[in-house]
A and B are shown apart, each in its own frame.
Chain A
């Protein structure tokens, strides 16, 4: 069985020269996803996003004074598919090949998405204008397997 959870993720986008991003030490509270040569996406819990922006800005300032570091949390909708079968069921959502553990990007349910996977769960982020589509299609596609557990969604208290 597996389940789908809406997930609150803090997102910081850092744009800088490729060399600067290569040399950047990602803050421990964030998970870095290199989305392009000159762009890094940093994921964290939403409560620490401001700190991530500050730390990354400071660290990048010495590497690329022109760097742009911005909180883009509002631009993303996120869901997590968790549990046994989460990885194998991902093929119903996307043609992307999941890494064993880490980040990949491409189309999921036909919209551009960022995907972070490990052994037990798959986190999918899509631009927030597709939030309803993402939830609807993921629920339908995985629901058809008969192995999807659903539970009421409650906003977690910080």
Chain B
């Protein structure tokens, strides 16, 4: 025997075809939620997924629309708002405190003392009538699948199916997505029959129909994310037909949000499709054909029905509707009832249509012709399939009374809007921002038109005040997991030596997007190895570019501030890259090769940007240059230290002596049978050879170097040791030791800029800045205390700088640092306070200032 669903400790029977909403309503549940701010009772209203009134927690998922969710045995359903419960909610007292909770109250109250807001915010957040995120529950990974179609149809009603059938028959690849089952929100048998016929026609023509798939937005492309039960589809469509239908318009009058007030389609759905009469005695206020027809549906469900086609003055009741006052030709009439059914006009579900104003998107059916007949809907769908873009019809605004709730999601009343208007928020867009109307789960589907109508109708409104607010995704509620569908968390770049590092017990870290060793054992030991013997480091992460073509030298000379023309084959030069403002954006090394080619090395993190930047200049200047990114293709291993040459000597027959291959020169040599470009560099302050090689040969080369290095006491080192070694030489890390507006003079890099060149990028800016006094500079510091990177530098209690790099150095015998300082009274301070220690500005480098060890 079926067990039914579990609702707050009791069993609720589930009938075939039931939604959670219909099952609960049959079980006499009338209050589904409490409103966000005033904790007013809210019951079923639209029953078509358009309003926020039935959002409950289903199986731990908060904010589930009960009317859109199929009920099943074993489901656990809980109402989410209200304290201690939604049925008996003590926080309903806020409904009596309107005076103290005016619109925008959180911008006006709890301001001083400042700590009060922290407490108030916590209390307000707890009190609001929304669900709680299951923070502790692990999120499931939702896959995303891309889908390419000629036509995407959103909406499986008559118009949508007609469009799908027509386009598929013409040979187009067509996918139709429908939020629920086909026909689930149609209560009229004639409509359901037509839906079935058209669905069969569309399928036979080759259209794919996806039920329980919701289009949540429309982006440039058109690109439409569609949330399905098992995956999120990323649909790239040639065209989109939005056949999303319409919902009956929201009307504003006192008591318009009481449980028992229904839209006509919702009331008819409950009674006809689910066999649950919304009440016993209904007043149907209808100005539409469908609304009038719904009265018969309610009668057939056994309800006593009164039809009225005039205005509603007010609804009254306590917890649910008890009576309604109607406007009649003779005045007013009060009628007792337990259900008020409204069909006073249409609100097309045009969110997607309005998101795609510049896209290939057409509306069909009710969304374009609200209230259209079955035949008109079908014809409209077929026209849309053939590329006809139906101009949406004007929708007359439902008259707005003097009182009542405009935005059901955010509890914004007409009174609130008027108050905001009086305070000076005088257009629909800023009213939205101030009052939060249209910013709830329905995203303005219910109240958007009313907000615009309110603003447009003010006597002192400017012409644009009443424009509809911008439509943005998501058009329908979705869970956070769907937003993250298909997103890969971390994408890791690896060098060819990654597995070797792991084999050697390296502790790896993320450096930018690269995975790199921090240390293999002990950082201090690695530093000593480099300073006294030799160290091996994987520097395959460096950006590596081959620059060729007849204008290669021209490009490099115009782009970089270094001299390029006098760089003969075999020579290399340190470079900084400047932008047009003269700010340093990267640094690296330029090596001249044969045949007018160059080999450019950049920092690891900036390689993609450097490539894009260079290509941009090549295109702008129309130069004939080939730029080949070899970062992935080539590995690089640094062998550095006093014994580096001896290690290489064991593995190569080529001459790597100081005479044949001096500092800042390079040569093609073979090491352990691996062809390498050996570049003499000195980032760590010792004799160093960077061996650039084909990536696939990296592991073999590394193994050979490790083996040959054993005799000399060499060991691999990682970023931890490098950080100290380069600091001892006062070599800066771009980004860590620099700020975005640093030009070379601030960093002490004037020597790397050839100002006597006719031109280079940034030259004019440097000339202008050269005439100004330096207001900030990077300095070397000795600190009388423990190293602490990032601490502010103070003079007389005033912050004048910051430590950017800091380490205890055995070679420099103390704590050394780099940091930037500002000029104080026209000069740079030499004694500062770094945290609790004294910092003294000293000349750099800290180690081997003459660079003698590099040139051995």
A97 touches B148 (CB 8 A): yes
6 A-B pairs whose Cβ atoms sit less than 8 Å apart in the complex: A74-B632, A75-B633, A91-B148, A92-B146, A127-B632, A128-B633
**Distance of B831 from chain A, by nearest CB (Å):** 46
B695 touches A66 (CB 8 A): no
B236 touches A95 (CB 8 A): yes
A15 touches B626 (CB 8 A): yes
B632 touches A129 (CB 8 A): yes
**Further pairs besides A66-B550, A74-B694: 10, Cβ < 8 Å:** A66-B548, A68-B626, A72-B628, A73-B633, A74-B696, A75-B634, A95-B236, A129-B631, A130-B493, A137-B488
Complex Cα gap A23–B146 (Å)? 35
Complex Cα gap A130–B608 (Å)? 14
Q: Is the CB of B491 closer than 8 A to any CB of chain A?
A: yes
Residues of chain A within 8 A (CB-CB) of B145 are 91-92
Residues of chain A within 8 A (CB-CB) of B491 are 110-111, 130, 133
Residues of chain A within 8 A (CB-CB) of B494 are 129-132
CB-nearest residue of chain A to B618: A38
Residues of chain B within 8 A (CB-CB) of A133 are 488, 491-493
The 6 closest A-B pairs by CB, nearest first: A75-B633, A15-B626, A127-B632, A91-B146, A75-B632, A95-B146
A95 touches B548 (CB 8 A): no
Chain A interface extent, by class: 20 to 34
Complex Cα gap A133–B493 (Å)? 8
A17 touches B624 (CB 8 A): yes
**Distance of A25 from chain B, by nearest CB (Å):** 20
Complex Cα gap A140–B486 (Å)? 12
Residues of chain B within 8 A (CB-CB) of A17 are 624
Residues of chain B within 8 A (CB-CB) of A141 are 143
Q: Which of A67, A96, A130, A144 contacts B146 (CB 8 A)?
A: A96
**Distance of B607 from chain A, by nearest CB (Å):** 10
CB-nearest residue of chain B to A72: B633
Residues of chain A within 8 A (CB-CB) of B143 are 92, 141, 144
Q: Is the CB of A7 closer than 8 A to any CB of chain B?
A: no
Q: Is the CB of A13 closer than 8 A to any CB of chain B?
A: yes
B143, B145, B626, B634: which has the most chain A beta carbons within 10 Å? Answer: B626
Chain B interface extent, by class: 35 or more
Complex Cα gap A12–B236 (Å)? 32
Q: Is the CB of A2 closer than 8 A to any CB of chain B?
A: no
Complex Cα gap A111–B488 (Å)? 10
Complex Cα gap A127–B236 (Å)? 26
CB-nearest residue of chain A to B223: A95
A94, A129, A133: which has the most chain B beta carbons within 10 Å? Answer: A129
Complex Cα gap A76–B629 (Å)? 12
Q: Is the CB of B522 closer than 8 A to any CB of chain A?
A: no
B143, B145, B550, B696: which has the most chain A beta carbons within 10 Å? Answer: B145
Q: Is the CB of B372 closer than 8 A to any CB of chain A?
A: no
**Distance of B19 from chain A, by nearest CB (Å):** 30
Number of CB contacts from chain A to chain B under 8 A: 88
A95 touches B498 (CB 8 A): no
Q: Is the CB of A30 closer than 8 A to any CB of chain B?
A: no
**Known pairs A111-B491, A130-B491; A68 contacts B146 (CB<8 A):** no
Q: Is the CB of B546 closer than 8 A to any CB of chain A?
A: yes
Q: Is the CB of A109 closer than 8 A to any CB of chain B?
A: yes
Residues of chain B within 8 A (CB-CB) of A76 are 632
Q: Is the CB of B324 closer than 8 A to any CB of chain A?
A: no
Q: Is the CB of B144 closer than 8 A to any CB of chain A?
A: yes
Residues of chain A within 8 A (CB-CB) of B146 are 90-92, 94-96
CB-nearest residue of chain A to B551: A66
Complex Cα gap A131–B515 (Å)? 13
**Distance of B480 from chain A, by nearest CB (Å):** 19
Complex Cα gap A146–B548 (Å)? 48
Q: Is the CB of B630 closer than 8 A to any CB of chain A?
A: yes
Q: Which of B487, B498, B628 contacts A70 (CB 8 A)?
A: B628
- Scan residues 504-561 of chain B and give those whose CB is less than 8 A from a CB of chain A: 514, 546, 548-550
Q: Is the CB of B234 closer than 8 A to any CB of chain A?
A: yes
Residues of chain A within 8 A (CB-CB) of B694 are 74
Q: Is the CB of B147 closer than 8 A to any CB of chain A?
A: yes
A68 touches B628 (CB 8 A): yes
CB-nearest residue of chain A to B627: A15
Residues of chain B within 8 A (CB-CB) of A15 are 548-549, 626-628
Complex Cα gap A122–B633 (Å)? 23
- Scan residues 72-122 of chain A and give those whose CB is less than 8 A from a CB of chain B: 72-76, 90-92, 94-97, 109-111
Residues of chain A within 8 A (CB-CB) of B628 are 13, 15, 68, 70, 72
Q: Which of B234, B495, B624, B626 contacts A129 (CB 8 A)?
A: B495
* Interface 1/0 per residue, A120-157 and B, CB below 8 Å: 00000001111111000100010010000000000000
B492, B493, B514: which has the most chain A beta carbons within 10 Å? Answer: B493
**Known pairs A68-B546, A74-B695, A141-B143; A128 contacts B488 (CB<8 A):** no
Residues of chain B within 8 A (CB-CB) of A66 are 548-550, 624, 626
B147 touches A91 (CB 8 A): yes
Complex Cα gap A100–B548 (Å)? 35
B546 touches A74 (CB 8 A): no
A91, A110, A127: which has the most chain B beta carbons within 10 Å? Answer: A91
**Known pairs A75-B632, A96-B146, A128-B633; A68 contacts B488 (CB<8 A):** no
**Distance of A81 from chain B, by nearest CB (Å):** 14
A110 touches B626 (CB 8 A): no
B695 touches A38 (CB 8 A): no
Residues of chain A within 8 A (CB-CB) of B498 are 132
CB-nearest residue of chain B to A65: B550
* Interface 1/0 per residue, A49-83 and B, CB below 8 Å: 00000000000000000111010111110000000
Residues of chain B within 8 A (CB-CB) of A109 are 488
**Distance of B691 from chain A, by nearest CB (Å):** 15
**Known pairs A66-B550, A75-B632, A95-B236; A128 contacts B695 (CB<8 A):** yes
